[in-house]
Chains A and B, each alone.
Chain A
């Protein structure tokens, strides 16, 4: 009987354009569209910035040592030097975007340089114009490097003598571990965000929607136990959440594989090595109770709400409540141990990070799974209590 209910509700849900849009189309397209747009626009901005001539305003820069050095740089054609007498004029030029950066040299600039003292250069910029202060800093760094070398030669100092420590850092963590620990929380984030989105519309449609359309009353007169009706509907919500989350993953996979999000072959090979059958299976094993938990939280709200709008407005804050533990799981320094493995949602985020890093221990994973499963069972039980309430149901 549960299968009959599940089958009918699934057909009904898959024929609802709004649910399909939220369940399949948006999760599938969001990454390819968003990331490609991001890559395209940042590339375009970078190109535009590189092509733009940088106008540099200088005070006390006429026939100066620094001016000469700037003109000697290989990229000197991409910049134009403009000389000012006072800082008021200089600031005005910056504000009117006549110049993008300004260099104010101290009065004894050249004297200090010659005396082997640090000579001050004030770099003033209007950073609402992206990229220019970075370009200027890079040029100044090049000039400083040259000056250092010249000073070492003039003072007859071997550069190594002023470097007392020769530090050689070795990171014994593999790239896989690094990705797992630092970016591993991203996968459950995708799963939970899209899973929630996928569950939301079917949950509202199958409970609040049925109430609004007057079909629930008829359904309650059929000789089928109320828990069976609930389980049949709940399964559809879980499947919708899983489809949505899977589409989110597929979208990301599509972005990496087809659109070549990462140009680094090492990273691409690493992603391929992570995405094994065993990995996907374990990931779903961890995430399925989480989706059941989400569905179990959504259903009582959908039962309680009297209209689609009311349900939507009540569910929106829940989204935030669920995302907060995901973000906590993201934070560096939050370790996966028996305490964090006992906190729902956070435990799944941390377990996924460990899974990607290849450091997941079976004991902690089993405990996290059991904890999440228990919370999912409680949420379903709460849904049943709400579905059985005469006051709420009609």
Chain B
């Protein structure tokens, strides 16, 4: 039987599938809908499905990037725009750094075999277990008093890179093991140095692994709240921090906050649709292969 033919199933199965899909994405759709509503519509008692969509909430959130004047904004609160820039810089830089360093380390561990695979997988597991809440106190203390990099983007990037490295090294290892050593030997014959072999031969071959690792790292750096909250000052706040801050206000502006939430959710959603296969590989690699 080829994979293209499907078994015919009881209609109840399709009903179940549809119900599951609705449950999985219902809350996300609801957030999207709310972000497109005016506060009058959000708070009204009438049906919530029929309304005039508006992008006003997005205009309010992103007011400092608008190239035109939105008539409904009398005061532009730049907090969110600044946080978005911070989040982008922090997430992109820490992803790039983690990947470069992680790749090199994984390659060294596989090819020059100085520690067993067991040591590395145990370290990964141990590091996976450390909750950000546990790092909160020491990282705050050290960053403030010893390194004096609290309140800077660099400080936040440093924590994120360190937090993500174990997982990235571990997942890339399983991809590098599959690169045939003959290819590398051939390149070495042709006169490539160890760095040349690594960058020109190995890296292009492990692109799928790199994609999975990049998505997982980006996700952590983009979504993380607790450490960013402890380390950031007014100018280096990330989006999750601003969202939580505006949730504690007495009068929550649901429309705008849903718009900011949506903006924070969009990159992970795009990645999911673009690379769900790699994400599932990354997720299952830990448990299924052992």
A binds B: no
Give chain A's interface residues, CB within 8 Å of chain B: none
